């Protein structure tokens, strides 16, 4: 490093250091006699010691050593707030969907099996009321008996308790009208789902219940 700052300990150490190979060898062996004895035992092998500068005192190298000695390098895992919120929202939606998947006896489940907002449709006030009542399955026609403390109404043809699903999907009384408006039988999701069928209100007028919803 070109501008490396040498620390004071290293300056002092280098000042007292020797670069004499014989002196270094004697020092590392212990003393001159021990060096001579080792050479005798080495049978001609000549081992020499020399000094090689270490990392000490060089700022960049000391920083690298310090970083390497850290138990773990800290990784900056920055996540933008909007991404974190979106992840939480996704997890909650998945959990909500799993709960909703188990509610398959719920009237709304047939109409909206996915947990997501219904789209706004260009409907007038009356049409919006009719559509929402059909979606939740509670209409004046099928549920006014609760207010009047009467028995529930039944289909005059099928003799079953009258329900929105029966009227719109199952009752054969309206097969001709369903063929005319929908081309045949149709499910609740296609009738009342995210985008209601464009002929829904025509059909309700045809069978005479639009004003009874
Ligand atoms: Zn019926």
* Per-residue pLDDT reduced to its tens digit, 82-104: 899 999 999 999 999 999 999 88
Cα 6 to averaged position of ligand 1 atoms, centre (Å): 98
How far apart CA 79 and CA 12 sit, in angstroms, is 49
Residue pair 57/6 in contact by the 8 Å Cβ criterion: yes
Cα 102 to averaged position of ligand 1 atoms, centre (Å): 28
Q: Residue 139 — φ and ψ, nearest 5°?
A: -130, 165
Give the environment of ion ligand 1: residues with CB less than 5 A: 155, 157-158, 171
On whether both 207 and 123 belong to a single domain, the answer is yes
Residue 76 pLDDT grade (very low, low, confident, very high; cuts 50, 70, 90) = low
Q: How many independent structural domains does the chain possess? A: 2
In a domain, 113, yes or no: no
- Which of 34-48, 49-63, 131-145 has the least mean pLDDT? 49-63
On whether both 130 and 53 belong to a single domain, the answer is no
In a domain, 38, yes or no: yes
How far apart CA 166 and CA 199 sit, in angstroms, is 18
In a domain, 94, yes or no: no
On whether both 56 and 125 belong to a single domain, the answer is no
Tokens of 100: 């909703």
Cα 168 to averaged position of ligand 1 atoms, centre (Å): 10
pLDDT digits (tens, 9 = 90+) for 44-67: 666 666 666 665 667 777 777 777
Cα 82 to averaged position of ligand 1 atoms, centre (Å): 52
Cα 204 to averaged position of ligand 1 atoms, centre (Å): 15
Residue 151: its pLDDT value, please? 95
In a domain, 134, yes or no: yes
Tokens of 164: 């929105």
Tell me the C-alpha to C-alpha distance, in Å, between residue 97 and each of 93, 117, 120, 190, 205: 6, 13, 21, 20, 35
CA atoms within 13 A on the CB side of 41: 6
Residue 161's domain spans which residues? 119-212
Residue pair 43/17 in contact by the 8 Å Cβ criterion: no
């Amino acid at each position: 490093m070109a501008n490396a700052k040498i620390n004071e300990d290293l300056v002092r150490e280098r000042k007292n250091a020797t670069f004499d190979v014989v002196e270094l060898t004697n020092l590392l062996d212990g003393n001159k006699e021990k060096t001579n004895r080792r050479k005798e035992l080495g049978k001609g092998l000549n081992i020499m010691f020399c000094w090689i500068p270490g990392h000490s005192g060089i700022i960049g190298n000391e920083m690298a050593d310090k970083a390497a000695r850290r138990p773990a390098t800290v990784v900056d895992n920055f996540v933008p707030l909007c991404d974190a919120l979106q992840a939480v929202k996704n997890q909650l939606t998945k959990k909500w969907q799993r709960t909703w998947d188990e509610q398959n006896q719920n009237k709304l489940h047939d109409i909206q099996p996915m947990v997501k907002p219904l789209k706004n449709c260009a409907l007038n006030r009356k049409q919006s009321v009719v559509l929402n009542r059909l979606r939740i399955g509670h209409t004046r026609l099928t549920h006014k008996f609760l207010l009047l403390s009467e028995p529930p109404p039944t289909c005059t043809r099928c003799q079953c308790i009258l329900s929105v699903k029966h009227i719109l999907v199952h009752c054969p009384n309206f097969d001709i009208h369903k063929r005319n408006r929908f081309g045949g039988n149709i499910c609740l999701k296609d009738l009342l789902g995210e985008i209601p069928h464009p002929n829904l209100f025509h059909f309700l007028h045809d069978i005479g219940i639009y004003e009874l919803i």
